[in-house]
A and B are shown apart, each in its own frame.
Chain A
Amino acid sequence: MAVADSHDTHDDHHDLYDHGEFIAHHFDSAEQQFDSGKLGIWLFLVTEILFFSGLFVAYTLYRTNHPEVFEQAHVFLNKYLGGLNTIVLLFSSLTMALGVRSAQLGRNKNCSVYILITMVCATMFLGVKAVEYSHKWDMGILVRSSFDLTYTHPTPTTEIGKSLHISDYLVYLCIVPALLFAGFVVASAISKLINKNMLAKFLMAMAITVSGYFLGVCIGIIFMSATDAETGSSHASVIAEQPLMLLASTQDDHSDGDHDEADHDKADHDKAAGDPSHDGEHSDNEEHFGAHPADGGEASFDDHHPDPSTLDRDIGIFFSIYYCMTGLHAIHIIGGIIALGWLYWRSLLGHWRTDYFGPVDYVGLYWHLVDLIWIYLFPLLYLID
Chain B
Amino acid sequence: MVDANTRQKLFGTPETNFLNCSKGWKSWAFTLDHKRIGIMYLIGVTVALFLAGIFALVLRSHLFTFDSTMLSDDMYNQMFTLHGAVMVFSFIIPSIPAALGNIVLPMMLGAKDVAFPRMNLASFYLWIIGTGCLLGAILSGKGLDTGWTFYTPYSIDTNTGVIYATFGAFILGFSSIFTGLNFLVTVNTMRAKDQGWFKLPLFVWSLYATAIIQVLATPVLGITLLMLIAEKTLHIGIFDPKYGGDPVLFQHFFWFYSHPAVYIMILPAMGVISELISVYSQKRIFGYSFIAFSSVAIALLGFLVWGHHMFTSGQSLVVTLIFSAITFTVAIPSAVKVFNWLATLYKGSILLNTPMCYALSFIFLFGIGGLTGLFLGALSTDIHLHDTYFVVAHFHFVMVGGTLTALLGGVFHWWPKIWGRMYNDFLGRVGCFLVFSGFNLTFFPQFVMGSRGMPRRYASYDPEFQAFHQLSTVGAFVLGIGILLSFVVLVYAAFRGPRCSSNPFRAASLEWQSSSPPDFHNFIQTPVLTDPYDFESQVYDEELDTYIPREFANPDKVAPRKEPVHH
Residues of A in contact with B (beta carbons under 8 Å apart) = 1, 3-4, 6-8, 10-14, 16, 24-26, 32, 35-36, 39-40, 43-44, 46-48, 50-55, 57-58, 61, 143-146, 289-290, 295-296, 301, 306, 310, 313-314, 316-317, 320-321, 323-324, 328
Contacts and interface: CB of A to CB of B under 8 A. Distances in A.
Contacts of B188: 36, 39
B26 A16 contact: no
Contacts of A301: 157, 242
Given A7-B519, A10-B21, A54 B112 contact: no
B189 A39 contact: yes
Given A14-B31, A36-B185, A316-B243, A3 B9 contact: yes
A332 B312 CA distance: 38
Contact of B21 (A7, A40, A61): A7
Contacts of B181: 40, 43-44, 47
Given A39-B188, A51-B223, A317 B115 contact: no
A4 B525 contact: yes
Nearest to A145: B235
B222 interface: yes
Contacts of B236: 143-145, 317, 320-321, 323-324
Contacts of B184: 39, 43
A313 B244 contact: yes
Interface of B: 2, 6, 9-10, 14-16, 21-24, 26-27, 30-33, 111-118, 157, 177, 181-182, 184-186, 188-190, 215-220, 222-224, 226-227, 230, 234-238, 242-246, 249, 252-253, 519-521, 524-525
Given A26-B117, A36-B189, A50 B32 contact: no
Nearest to B515: A6
A22 B118 CA distance: 15
Given A54-B220, A324-B230, A47 B177 contact: yes
Nearest to B157: A301
Contacts of A146: 234-235
Contacts of A57: 252-253
A10 B22 contact: yes
A43 B6 contact: no
Given A26-B117, A32-B189, A39-B184, 16 more contacts: A1-B525, A3-B9, A4-B524, A6-B519, A7-B16, A25-B113, A32-B190, A36-B116, A39-B189, A47-B215, A47-B219, A48-B219, A50-B219, A51-B219, A306-B242, A321-B236
B520 to A, nearest CB: 6
Contacts of A58: 227, 238, 249
Nearest to B523: A4
24 contacts: A7-B519, A8-B21, A14-B31, A14-B520, A16-B32, A16-B118, A24-B117, A32-B190, A35-B189, A36-B189, A39-B184, A44-B181, A47-B216, A58-B249, A143-B234, A143-B237, A145-B234, A306-B243, A313-B237, A313-B243, A317-B243, A320-B237, A324-B227, A324-B236
Given A3-B524, A36-B190, A47-B219, A145 B237 contact: yes
B237 A61 contact: no
Among A43, A289, A321, the one with the most B-chain Cβ atoms within 10 Å of its Cβ is A43
Main secondary structure, interface of A, reads helix
Given A53-B223, A313-B237, A317-B238, A47 B218 contact: yes
A14 B118 CA distance: 12
Contacts of A13: 26, 30
Contacts of A313: 237, 243-244
Contacts of A289: 234
Given A1-B525, A3-B10, A55-B223, A320 B519 contact: no
Contacts of A4: 524-525
B193 to A, nearest CB: 9
Contacts of A61: 246, 249
Contacts of B237: 143-145, 313, 316-317, 320
Among A10, A35, A146, the one with the most B-chain Cβ atoms within 10 Å of its Cβ is A10
